Amino acid sequence: MTWGLFFKLITLLTKEKMIYRADFILAAFAQIISYAGDYLVIWLFIRKFNAIAGWTWPEIALLYSIGLFTYALGASFSFVQMRGLEEQVKSGTFDSLLIKPVNPYLYLVCRGFNLGYLAHIVISCTVLLWAVSSLDLEWTWARVFYLIAAIIGGAMIQAGFMSIIGSTSFVWVRTGFLFTLFFRIKEFISYPLPVFGTLIQIVLTFVIPFAFINFYPVAFLLSHETPLLPAWTMWLVPAVGPFCYWAGYRIWMLGVNKYQGAGG
């Protein structure tokens, strides 16, 4: 698949969404209100206790915003696409992707690009910019590059894991419960990692590396301690994302090779 075809698909999908512009705007507004409620709950909780594990409200707002922002970026190219694989495998409509002269994974993620995550991006970026302006941080070009690389890496971690979940459709067909589990585990990264016990910290660092989505990069930028990793490894944090996405892609392609037609 060429970049020209990629942008052509994105353009066509955007035009399709804009046909029902009012519906799109209302849905986006509803999502913004929903996530504003999440921010409010966290703010009220911190207001009662002043800080959580030594993290203040602006710091946790930055942590949560990066988690939400990276989810929006990663999910726009993976969630709807991978969640819908279950039905495509059951009905046999997935077969139509395999006869196209393009990489099936790239075609699937581009064809299903979800413009609806724009609302997530708007509210997360707004709070992120407020949090950054509220914190006394010394910004250098190296730190700016690190933040951008960490955001891209966080998006790739989430897209990679959703791709892995999607790949199980080719074997188990039903994968809805795995997405539910994914979102339940992802709730842990709304708060600083030291809030949880050692076992959960180990799982979120070495087993399901969701802590690399936002906790480790934000802790590095804010000069907070990282309980399980030494300070020098923080420069390697953005590399976790590309690895997770590469692994997700390879596992997905392996699942395609095991696909035997309608019903899995």
Contacts of 164 (CB under 8 A, 6+ apart): 247, 248, 251, 252
Phi, psi of 11 (to 5 degrees): -65, -45
Look up tokens 């950054």; give the residue: 132
pTM for this prediction: 0.90
Q: Can you tell me the distance from the alpha carbon of 216 to that of 149, in angstroms, rounded to the nearest whole number?
A: 13
Q: Can you tell me the distance from the alpha carbon of 88 to that of 90, in angstroms, rounded to the nearest whole number?
A: 5
Instruction: Point out the residues of the chain with pLDDT beneath 50.
Output: 264
Give the residues across from 55 on adjacent strands.
52
HSE of 249 in the Cβ direction (CA atoms, 13 Å)? 16
Could you give the C-alpha distances from 263 to 87, 249, 250, in angstroms and in order?
9, 22, 22
Give percent helix, percent strand, percent coil of the chain, each to the nearest 5: 80, 0, 20
Q: Can you tell me the distance from the alpha carbon of 241 to that of 152, in angstroms, rounded to the nearest whole number?
A: 7
Give the residues across from 52 on adjacent strands.
55
Per-residue tokens: 197: 């016990």
According to the model, what pLDDT value does residue 35 have? 83
Residue 199 identity: L
Angle of helix 215-222 versus helix 141-167 axis, rounded to 10: 170
Average pLDDT, the chain: 88
Contacts of 29 (CB under 8 A, 6+ apart): 119
DSSP 203: I
According to the model, what pLDDT value does residue 36 have? 84
Q: Can you tell me the distance from the alpha carbon of 8 to that of 209, in angstroms, rounded to the nearest whole number?
A: 34
Domain boundaries, the chain: 3-258
Instruction: Report the residue count for the chain.
Output: 264
Per-residue tokens: 159: 């897209």
According to the model, what pLDDT value does residue 2 have? 60
Q: Can you tell me the distance from the alpha carbon of 83 to that of 13, in angstroms, rounded to the nearest whole number?
A: 18
